[in-house]
Structure 1
Amino acid sequence: MSGKHSFKRRKRGLENMSRRYDRIAAWLLPRKRGAHIAVLLLTLLMIPGAMTALQPIDMESYEMESPELTAQTIVNEEFPNAEIILGFLVSARNPDLVPAVEDWQPVPRMADGSPDYASLPHPSEMVPAGEPWAGIDAPTGGILNLTVLRELDTKLNLVLEHPLAPALKPLVNDVTGHQSNGAISLSDHFRGFMNNTSILTKPGLTSLGVVTEPPTNWSDCFPLDCLTFDDANVTQAHIDMAASRMAEASNNNFLRWVSLDRGFKADINAYQEGPIYGKLLSNGTWEGALWGKGRWTGSSTWLLVQLDSTKLQEMGWEVVWKDAHQEKEVQFTDEGFRVGGYRLADGQLVLHPPQYTEEECLELQAEGAGCATEWSYMDLEGHLRSHDRATVTLLLGQGVNVEVNRELQSSAGLIAMMGLAIVVLLYVSLRRWSDVAIVMFALGAALLWMQGLIGHFANITGWLGLSLIARSQFSNLLPILVLALGIDDSLHALHRYKEERANGKTSQEAGSITLSRVGRAITLTSLTTMSAFAANLFSDIAALRSFGIEAALGVLAAFILTGLWAPLIRVSVDDWLEARKNKRAQGEVKSLVNPDWLKKVTHGSGQRKTASVIALIAVLLTVPAAMGMASLEGDFAVEDFLDERSDFAIGVDEIAERFADEGEPANLLILGDVLDPRVFAAIDEFRQEMDALPEGVPDKITRQPDGTIDILALDEMVFAAQGSLVLDSTPFEAAGWQPEVEGFGMNCSYAGNGPLVDTNDRECLAFFYGFLSLYGVPGVGPIPDIPASIVQLYIMPVVDLDPDRPWLDVNGDDAAYDMMQIRFGMTQPEDFPGMQGGVAEVWRDLEVFTNLSSGTYEEPGEEEDDKPLTWVMLTGRPITRYTASTAMQDEMQNSLVLGSVFVLASLTIGFRSPKQAVVTFVPIFLVVVWLYGLMYVAGASLNIVTVTIATISLGVGIDYCIHVTERYREGRENGETHNDALAAVGGACGLALLGSATSDIAGFLVIALSPMGLFANFGIFSAAMIALSLLASLVLTTAALGLISKPSDNLVAVQTNLDGLAPSPSIADEEA
């Protein structure tokens, strides 16, 4: 009885669904002209919404919440003097390519003052990097060559002439102790040392405050005269001697400015001795050194430029790309075609940065969007590179949005070729140009509708006070979804229409059947695809929630325009042709392949014996694919996103090879009572913990050449200030320090017998924290001059301080400090597996702080008497990038699992049969596993692109499989046998799937030719996704139908019609 009731319910459902779509078709076809007008008007209305949606997306903006991003926001808001450091890699140029001085001129600027990027020396002209500690042979001294140093010095002057110069922020030279104006390189070290004013030639100071002899000198240079760097008589011998003394006396700081291939090269004619073949160890000794005459050499160095982000914004620049004015102007000039900030030169799109001035930027800022700092960074790089003769200069890690947009615009030709390939394959499939035009027009409208719907949805929800749309990198991948679904839906509709016309139906009859039968399938595919992406709505990440909404709007656009409107256009065109020719337009039966071949495939795959073999093969493929899927690891390799031949990518690779021991700046934010002596003591404990690296743990923290950890924190400045106090107390006495009074005027005490103070004394710390915040470190003797602006990067008082009594605030209350930063570098931050272990180890080292904190990882805690701190959190670009990328990847994979559950539930409801839902779902689930396995075999990694494509494969692949199952069900409902229904799948349905897949694959393979890693990976894996989906639909799904079929399904078949759906006994038996 239960089987009969189940069948009756299913029968009533099928009758209701068929009649519902019959009524829709009967209502829509007579009103098709009105439908066309409505679509046209709605399309026009979508344009403003699309303009809203198509706003620039910042590649470094993460629309999500995390403790690390929250900490970064606090740093940006509470430390107003936050700096931006531009790092330029400057390498010696291959001597064979260096032009003679008399023949060389700087590369002329373009007519508007922009650097001529097409004529700059290529990065490949750098001297190749050597082995660590081996040095290089040519040019003499490498980057320490006198001519090279002079050129470096010229570049520093160019920085001072640039429009960004007013925003320069002082830097302290860690070698000489001098303060620079915001730009620093090797020439500064030599100038400061060779004028005999550096800390290296001044008496030293021990940790106990005892004055020692100077580390070295520049007063005895026998047999040379001790000349200054700017002296016209300086020779390479002077440079070699100065470099040797700085390397020996600067506690390795000088060597950090020379690339890893630094080494002491033997030269019998040199005046100084050094560790030939030596490698510096962490204990300060040399391994394998042969001491003899020679000179220090290396291939590369840094040129650092530090900018004040607050000052930049006051000058009219915007630090965030998407908030800045977007360059869109198109120009035809004598120097070539220009678009935005790019110029076409010899068929290549090169940078042509706009020449911003402070006045222009302030005007743009007043209009709502200031100048983009990235453009000015690239302009500065271009000006420096224009003066490359003996060197090659590259800006590192900046301008990623500029480079991404350049490569996207450079790929416009490939996108056009992709469109042409799709058009050709569509014609091969449809064999009628009018059909191709209908598909392309509907696709274009669907893409516009998708963007328009997203824009209008964002505007409406924003007006209601909701923020549901957060455009991100995922948004760039949505067109693949609309393209795949749109081509598939339109081809199914047009192939079915053509099949009915070939069977003698009129245009109205064929249109009615198409809208009724194919419309039902397309509705189910659309709803199921939406449910697949609906899983993203449960994500904690705003960008992924937005992606789920945006995908649903894209699917809706494809459903309306390519699934319903395209066949209406076909009917209208045929009616017009028939009226014009006074005869019926004959349906064409030509197709991409012989339908009989497809029918053999679907029929053969659905036979039980063949299906069993296919199932076994599928299992054998799935097991290793699943193992590969489990072995995939995430990373952020630049070549996966950008052209590996681009200057940006080359710079990333070169820095990883030449300065692998240096890192990208990261921060530790500490909230609470940071004036507590326990917190101060924990800084050095943290440094020692970080220095001791357990075996097997990735070393991700920047280290000095001798291997010791490099952490910048307030305790070093407090020690420097104490040293300055010991050598000259005058500046401190002016700020209230009373050396003759007990407690020095603020109840501070000595550590032991002095001369240093007790840092376990809160009052002592209060004085030095306040003095540093107001006045910095006064330079004297071996103590470098550190400005207060640098100190303010590490600590800020809650209330402004009393300048005469810095241990008190302006209200006379005890000074309070509620936050502090510690800074360090993360090496190779794009290595996510290494970052995972490295960050975990940092958190273990942070126990010295977390044990003093009441907060959790997620959020700050409340103040407690025994715990001075409320929160401790890592942040900075390498941390936020790693955290955001891994969180998005993990959330996307979780959404894939949840989406699979939603898809299965939707299929069960749509088919009213759990068995057929599973039959339809399992093949595409295997496709997802196979796709991940293919990524593993191809050597790909998990990143935003690959994870998103895998997610999209669920939505697109299920579309293919639903069409097969729905066409099979239609045949069975009409009384066909199992074999007849399988053969029918290979007809119009199979042709549509094949035509859709070949068109998509051809298009994606074209863009896979792009040198841009993003496009290449996108094209390759999208093509693989479509190919596997086609296999899943025509082979795996039909095989699954064969496995669940019964022998009786081919023995009895009862004919039915759409108006009176009579049961087939075999179906009834199955339901029973």
Structure 2
Amino acid sequence: MIDYQKYIEIIDDWIVNRDTTVVGIFLIVTLLLSGGLGMTATDSGTSQFTENVPAQEAFDNVNDNFERQPFERGTGSTTLIHRSSNVLSKSSILEMLRAQHRLKEDDSQDVVGTNSVAQSVALTVDPNATTLSAQIDAVESAPASVVKQAAQQTLEERPSIAGLLSKDLNRREPSASATIATVSHRVGGTSDSAGTQGTSPLTPIQQEAVFIVGSTGADITVFGSGLISAELQSVISDSLILVIPAAVILILFFLIVSYRDPFDLLIGLICLGMTILWTFGFMGWAGIPFTQMLIAVPPLLLAVGIDFGIHAVNRYREERVQGTEVSTSMRLTTDQLLPAFFIVTGTTVLGFAANGASDLAPIRDFGLVAAVGIVFTFLIFGIFLPSLKHFIDRKREKYNLPTFSIAPIGSEDSAVGRVLTVGVGIARRTPHTFFVIVLLSTAVMGAYGTGVDTRFTTEDFLPPEENPEYFEELPASLAPGEYTVTDTINFLEENFESSESDSVTIYMEGPMQRDYALESIYKANQNPPDSFVSNGRRASATSILGVINQYERQSPKFRQLVQANDIDNNGIPDKNLPAIYDELYASPYGDEARSYLTDDYSKARIVYSVKSDASQAEVTADTRELANDMRFEATATGSVVVLKAVSDVIAESAYISLALAILASAVFLVIAYWIIEQRPSLGIANLVPILVTIAALAATMRYLDIPFNVLTGTTLSIGIGLGIDYSAHLVHRFSEEFRESTTLFEALSIAVSGTGGALAGSMLTTTTGTGVLVLAITPILGQFGLLIALSVLYSFVASVVILPTTLVMWDEAREVSPI
């Protein structure tokens, strides 16, 4: 048997006899770790979640083989959204052409290509107008009736171009209220990803594009991943500016109520500040960037730190009110609390560390940072706080400084104590019936909670389209900026059947010079699935077939070559494909052809438009089924498929982390109580309220339609960490009281009224401090704050109401088989 008491006595000796030295050592470590604060980078994008996901790797292969040809560096695109009474009118077409021309002529944009309905109509007006300036001249010099006829002809000859026009398109009298165009830029780094990048090279380009396009006077909105990235960064900073003051005010209020002594309040605040500083300093030294995921870490550390601080001070006061002197009171406090803190720390660290099993690097980083932060919390509140408290109380006695309050929060005779002992009353009267009800309720909630949805989209991190009304009442220093991205995304989804982000890609590898290669692509586009945009019975798709068709209309010689090799007369060549490719590559359409077929004819891609209102699951399933039906080795990819793959990993991570956390916590608790109390079965009893909390939390998520995402996906393992915090304190206190030959129910009453009082103060402080995240601008942060607050509340209620009955059942089982 390990004699853990001797190690606690060593710590006791340092706390009581060398408090000044301990305080000095911790302050030195604080200075050292604070040096890492300036090294912490920020990564606010969502592309970090797609790294090493197979679908993203396929997407990267597509970009490597197609999007970056024929350019030496990477390319990125900007979307122009034009709104007008009729975007197919002569005046509107000229507005779009002029906007594109201004962007192309501006050196800051580094434009390498443009694509729009306006350009297609201009080419129909004058097939020789191959530049934007020539197209502007062609449309300007043509009568409005000719432009109208050209628009109608373009829609007939190129039906897929309708995807660039709003849903209210009128083909007979060519008109539509909105259209989208694409401008491609040469950029210094990779800009193509299923997510948005934290520091996108497109951000300055697109921010400048806003001013360039705005100067035209047309109603054209600039949109793209660079602007989304910039808004994501603004949302994080604005959310923190809004949430932190509110959290500080609420936490400070409840800490004042809990401590009721300015000296103790100051000690608690110093320790909380040190915990945050140590953790973020560690991140800087370890080179871990601050991401959206890590916004969750400060509330978690505050939750555990507040709990530890209130428990330490409250337990110390229980001794002081009995007249025990300072050093003896502190020894008794640390003797009892250090084992409890160790149990809580061990299980909480295991709960967070279970996220290390995730395939997503940001979730692994979150688990590591949270686990390290909890260890820091244990050291600061388990050793530094008692040392500082002992040092200050000695000085207060020496210099006769006033003592404001030394009364603990709860006692059996107080109103708080009477409320807290309700669970003891239930355990005394009907333990068996109540325990059966608890087990059945947990099973029902757990089964219901398995239906929680999983989602991952860039929109999760963006603000709502309309800010809440209370934003208008905020002072100017706290008021958030104006956000436009969500409004633009909603406009695209409502007005276009598909947008640039609503597309999937089939990436094919194989001998594309084989006679059946193009026929296989043609057949794949027939009878598309329901989630795909279609023109009649054919999918709205872009591929090498479309480029062949375009050049065929422009070149009689090429059309003759295609027809000569079209055996079944369906417009698709069936033989001599290398000669057709060579002729196409040597034409003005060569660059466009290379964006769908590589020079060695070994890789090809087909880009399909999908419906904006189709779910990720539907689109992904349909795309994968289509890829499986290809004659070549084919992979389903594209932004929708990648994001669905990430959401699947999130769900998998959530359940794997939960299972690992429960298993590891159970093993740890059994071993810990075996070493500390020689009662290993107490570890199992300790788990019951936690399982109830997890089941209730999962059921709440499904009821409130809160999905698993990159933040909420961690709440179940977090719930274990925070839940053990509450139940472990009560179980350990009960065990100590029960060990003193007190009767079962006396031990329960003392534990619940004494330690339960500290738990109540901690619960109120933590739920309000973390629950204030609901004020955050982004819904994802609000959902996370709500769930953390609920997990703390559920943990508290389960501990004070359910745990007494659980311990009664444990005692009965122990009498049958004493372990």
Name the TM tier (shorter chain): 0.7 to 0.9
Which among 198, 210, 230 is matched to residue 140 of structure 2?
A: 230
For 1:84 and 1:701, the matched residues in 2 are separated by: 25
Which among 647, 651, 669 is matched to residue 507 of structure 2?
A: 669
The question of 1:751 aligning with 2:565 is answered: yes
TM-score normalised according to structure 2 size: 0.86
The residue aligned with 2:271 is 442
Distance 1:988 1:476, change over 3 A: same
For 1:751 and 1:790, the matched residues in 2 are separated by: 22
TM-superposed CA distance for 1:933, in Å, is 1.1
The residue aligned with 1:498 is 317
Which of the two has greater strand per residue? Answer: 1
The residue aligned with 2:540 is 710
Deviations 1:226-267 (A, max 9, x none): x96314x956x66655544544x3343454332112247xxx
The residue aligned with 1:806 is none
Contact preservation (8 Å) 2:232, 2:462? yes
> Within 5 A, what are the aligned runs for 1:835-850?
835-849=616-630
Residues matched between the structures, number: 783
The residue aligned with 1:781 is none
TM-superposed CA distance for 1:512, in Å, is 1.4
Contact preservation (8 Å) 1:319, 1:372? no
Which among 680, 685, 689 is matched to residue 923 of structure 1?
A: 689
TM-superposed CA distance for 1:499, in Å, is 1.8
Deviations 1:587-644 (A, max 9, x none): 5216489873443345431324344454355356435533431222222366643211
The structure with the larger Rg is 1
For 2:601 and 2:119, the matched residues in 1 are separated by: 35
> Within 5 A, what are the aligned runs for 1:628-1027?
628-636=448-456, 640-645=460-465, 646-662=483-499, 664=501, 665-688=503-526, 691-693=527-529, 699-704=530-535, 706=536, 708-718=538-548, 726-727=556-557, 750-751=564-565, 759-761=573-575, 764-773=576-585, 775=586, 777-778=587-588, 786=589, 788-797=590-599, 816-828=600-612, 834-849=615-630, 852-853=632-633, 872-912=634-674, 913-1027=679-793
Contact preservation (8 Å) 2:33, 2:277? yes
The residue aligned with 1:1071 is 818
Deviations 1:711-739 (A, max 9, x none): 2222443455566664369xx9xxxxxx9
The residue aligned with 1:407 is 235
> Within 5 A, what are the aligned runs for 1:360-439?
372-385=201-214, 387-388=216-217, 391=219, 393-396=221-224, 398-411=226-239, 412-439=241-268
For 2:735 and 2:348, the matched residues in 1 are separated by: 20
Contact preservation (8 Å) 2:326, 2:394? yes
Deviations 1:973-995 (A, max 9, x none): 12222122112223442122111
The residue aligned with 1:152 is 96
Deviations 1:160-205 (A, max 9, x none): 3444432x223xxxxxxxxxxx2x4444344444457689xxxxxx
The question of 1:548 aligning with 2:332 is answered: no
Contact preservation (8 Å) 2:202, 2:226? no
For 1:73 and 1:251, the matched residues in 2 are separated by: 29
Contact preservation (8 Å) 2:261, 2:403? no
Distance 1:674 1:399, change over 3 A: same
Distance 1:968 1:754, change over 3 A: closer
Structure 1: give runs of 5+ residues left out of the alignment.
1-11, 93-138, 171-181, 200-226, 265-273, 275-294, 327-370, 459-468, 694-698, 733-738, 740-747, 779-785, 798-815, 854-871, 1047-1065
The residue aligned with 1:85 is 77
Distance 1:517 1:593, change over 3 A: closer
The question of 1:313 aligning with 2:188 is answered: yes
Q: Larger relative CO (CA 8 A, sep 6+): 1 or 2?
A: 2
Distance 1:1034 1:251, change over 3 A: same
Amino acid at match of 2:593: V
Distance 1:376 1:533, change over 3 A: same
Distance 1:666 1:758, change over 3 A: closer
For 2:610 and 2:572, the matched residues in 1 are separated by: 33
Contact preservation (8 Å) 2:15, 2:390? no
Which among 402, 422, 428 is matched to residue 604 of structure 1?
A: 422
**Mean CA deviation greater in 553-562 or 817-826:** 817-826
TM-superposed CA distance for 1:584, in Å, is 8.7
Contact preservation (8 Å) 2:213, 2:220? no
- Aligned to 1:313, the other structure's residue is in SS state coil
Distance 1:676 1:190, change over 3 A: closer
Distance 1:648 1:753, change over 3 A: closer
Contact preservation (8 Å) 1:428, 1:592? no
Distance 1:879 1:595, change over 3 A: farther
- Aligned to 1:846, the other structure's residue is in SS state helix
TM-superposed CA distance for 1:86, in Å, is 1.8
For 2:410 and 2:778, the matched residues in 1 are separated by: 32
For 1:454 and 1:415, the matched residues in 2 are separated by: 20
The residue aligned with 1:356 is none
For 1:522 and 1:906, the matched residues in 2 are separated by: 14
Deviations 1:481-509 (A, max 9, x none): 21211111111111111222222122212
Distance 1:446 1:475, change over 3 A: same
Distance 1:185 1:837, change over 3 A: closer
The residue aligned with 2:119 is 188
The residue aligned with 1:812 is none
The residue aligned with 1:120 is none
Contact preservation (8 Å) 1:601, 1:1035? no
For 2:735 and 2:88, the matched residues in 1 are separated by: 78
Contact preservation (8 Å) 1:640, 1:1017? no
For 2:594 and 2:759, the matched residues in 1 are separated by: 64
TM-superposed CA distance for 1:659, in Å, is 0.7
Distance 1:252 1:823, change over 3 A: closer
- Aligned to 1:571, the other structure's residue is in SS state helix
Contact preservation (8 Å) 2:99, 2:213? yes
Structure 2: give runs of 5+ residues left out of the alignment.
131-136, 466-482
CA-atom RMSD in angstroms: 3.6
Which among 297, 302, 314 is matched to residue 180 of structure 2?
A: 302
Contact preservation (8 Å) 1:446, 1:482? yes
Amino acid at match of 1:302: I
> Within 5 A, what are the aligned runs for 1:499-538?
499-538=318-357
TM-superposed CA distance for 1:70, in Å, is 2.3
For 1:1031 and 1:428, the matched residues in 2 are separated by: 20
Contact preservation (8 Å) 2:76, 2:202? no
- Aligned to 2:221, the other structure's residue is in SS state strand
For 2:632 and 2:197, the matched residues in 1 are separated by: 42
For 2:420 and 2:448, the matched residues in 1 are separated by: 30
The residue aligned with 2:27 is 40
Contact preservation (8 Å) 2:169, 2:175? yes
Contact preservation (8 Å) 1:602, 1:1038? no
Distance 1:90 1:820, change over 3 A: same
The residue aligned with 2:166 is 259
For 1:1067 and 1:845, the matched residues in 2 are separated by: 60
Deviations 1:665-719 (A, max 9, x none): 433222343433344442223223xx343xxxxx333334x46302222244345
Contact preservation (8 Å) 1:58, 1:320? no
